[in-house]
Amino acid sequence: MAPDNRVALCPGTFDPVTYGHLDVIARASAMYDKVIVAVVNLPWRKGGTVFSTEERIGFVRNATSDLPNIEVEPFRGLLVAFALERGAMAIVKGLRAISDFEYELEMNQLNRRQAPDVESVYLMASAKYSFLSSSGVKELATFGGDITDLVPHEVAGALQERLGR
């Protein structure tokens, strides 16, 4: 399918989905007619996940239910291949720090070699979420920290149930 400049992907593991992720998704939804939140089925660089693909998709769907132009789908394989399959012209990601930039610059160059028509679009993290990561949230949940202002309520409960000591 030819890329459509009104369709974008927001990819991620979303293990768990955080308010930082949701901020980027909401901002992307204001920029594009359709945003497909692409939930990685089998993450390559992070190992196993706390939540199954179906659970992560459910959390994202519930948290974005007020955004009518959001679709949530699992994917495996090359992100750019999935983007082309879905007709997306942009891959939208959030950047928090210089370490994110270094990784994303490399990924952008590799993706452009595979699919030159698919653009990478980066949104700077909102100040209140610039420190927020899924791994940090999981660590806090493991040791009984308060995560209620970092993730949606149902995610906080599920994390505390699954990881709490």
> Above 80 in pLDDT, residue 157?
yes
With bands split at pLDDT 50, 70 and 90, how would you rate the model's confidence at 31? Answer: very high
> Is the Cα torsion angle 5, 7, 12, 17 positive or negative in sign?
positive
Q: Which domains does the chain have, with CATH numbers?
A: 4-127 (3.40.50.620)
Chain center to CA of 102: 18
What is the predicted pLDDT for the residue at 47?
A: 67
CB environment 38-48: b (16+ within 10 A), e (fewer): bbbbeeeeeee
Per DSSP, 14 falls in state -
Q: How high is the mean pLDDT of the chain?
A: 92
Tokens describing residue 37: 């939140």
Q: Is the model's pTM score more than 0.85?
A: yes
